[in-house]
Structure 1
Amino acid sequence: MGRSLARESAMKILFQMELNNDFSSDALNIFFENNSFEDDEKEYILQTVNQLNENIKIIDENIEKYAQGWKLNRIPKVDLSILRIAINEILHRKDIPVEVSINEAINISKKYSTNESSKFINGLLGSFVRDMEHINKL
């Protein structure tokens, strides 16, 4: 399957969790029972969901900050899940290049959302990364 499809699967479970307002380990276990993954794919999904649960407040604050006037509840749930994964990777996964996180987010949004969503996601993540790079240079 690979990292790209593992990332898609992470988006799917996060989307499901968001829709059902159920971020429990039971929901994740059911997802794993109903889908088959290689060990490294399962590890990526599990790490991603756990990191998001631990850091959701700061991740969502960044999404809202760069969404330019959009409240989280107005952002489509698919797009929100994609953004959460990308920002989590940028902040917490130093083994994944920033460019890869952004490109994968755009590709997933093109597959599961709209053309406008991919532009929104690209713009939001681009602004987020530019500000991070500026802060890191200080």
Structure 2
Amino acid sequence: MGRRKARERALQILFQVDMGGTDPQEAMKNMDESFGPVDNNVDFINRIVMGTLDNLEFINQTITSVSQDWDLKRMAGADRNIIRIAFYEIFFCRDTPNNVAVNEAIELGKTYGGEDSARFINGILGKVLAKPEDYFPKTGDAKSTCDQRNTTASPGITT
């Protein structure tokens, strides 16, 4: 499983957590049962899911401040979670170039979102990247980063 497919799996897990109130580990288990266990990139999926959830308050505040006239709860669930993943990678994952995070989010939007999702997602992410100094977290704001996340301690995804 490449990173694009791993992001898809992470999106599906976050969607279950967001829309259904499912526990993250239970959502991971559900995905394994429905689509089979992940053969590789388990750590990457765990980093995205748990890191996004760890930093959800900061990420949601950023989305709200950027998306004028859009209430976070009114956004389509897929769009909201795609943007969350992208912001997690942009803000907290040094191993993912910003342009990769944006391009992957746009592609996820084309696959899982509505007709205008890719354009909407690109607009939100573009605003942050146009003036990153206005949005990047201050020291101490991060609950966990890709470098800090202990993925082996996160149960749920099997190899």
Runs of at least 5 residues in structure 2 that lack an aligned partner in the other structure:
137-159
Name the aligned partner's letter for residue 36 of structure 1: P
2:156 corresponding residue in structure 1: none
Task: Give 1:26-45 correspondences, 5 Å limit.
Answer: 26-34=26-34, 35-40=36-41, 42-45=42-45
Separation in structure 2 between the aligned mates of residue 135 and residue 11 of structure 1, nearest angstrom: 23
Match of 2:96 in 1: 96
Q: Please name the residue that 2:46 is paired with.
A: 46
Q: In 1, are the aligned partners of 2:14 and 2:24 still within 8 Å (CA)? A: no
Q: Please give the alpha-carbon distance, in whole angstroms, between the structure 1 residues aligned to 2:135 and 2:67.
A: 19
The within-5 A match list for 1:54-73 is 54-73=54-73
More helix as a share of residues: 1
Check the 8 A contact 2:8/2:108 in 1, yes or no. Answer: yes
- Percent of matched pairs sharing the same residue: 34
Distance 2:49 2:30 in 1: 14
Structure 2: distance between partners of 1:22 and 1:106: 26
Q: How does 1:2-21 map to 2 (within 5 A)?
A: 2-21=2-21
Q: Higher RCO, 1 or 2 (CA under 8 Å, sep at least 6)?
A: 2
Query: Are 1:10 and 1:45, in contact at CA under 8 Å, matched by a contact in 2?
Result: yes
The two structures, once aligned, show a CA RMSD in angstroms of 1.7
Q: 1:120 offset after TM fit, Å? A: 0.7
The alpha-carbon deviation at position 25 of structure 1 amounts to: 2.1
SS class of match (1:44): helix
Is the contact between residue 23 and residue 53 of structure 1 (CA under 8 Å) also seen in structure 2?
Answer: no
Q: Does the residue aligned with 2:131 lie in a helix, a strand or coil? A: helix
Give, in whole Å, the separation in 1 of the partners of 2:52 and 2:135: 23
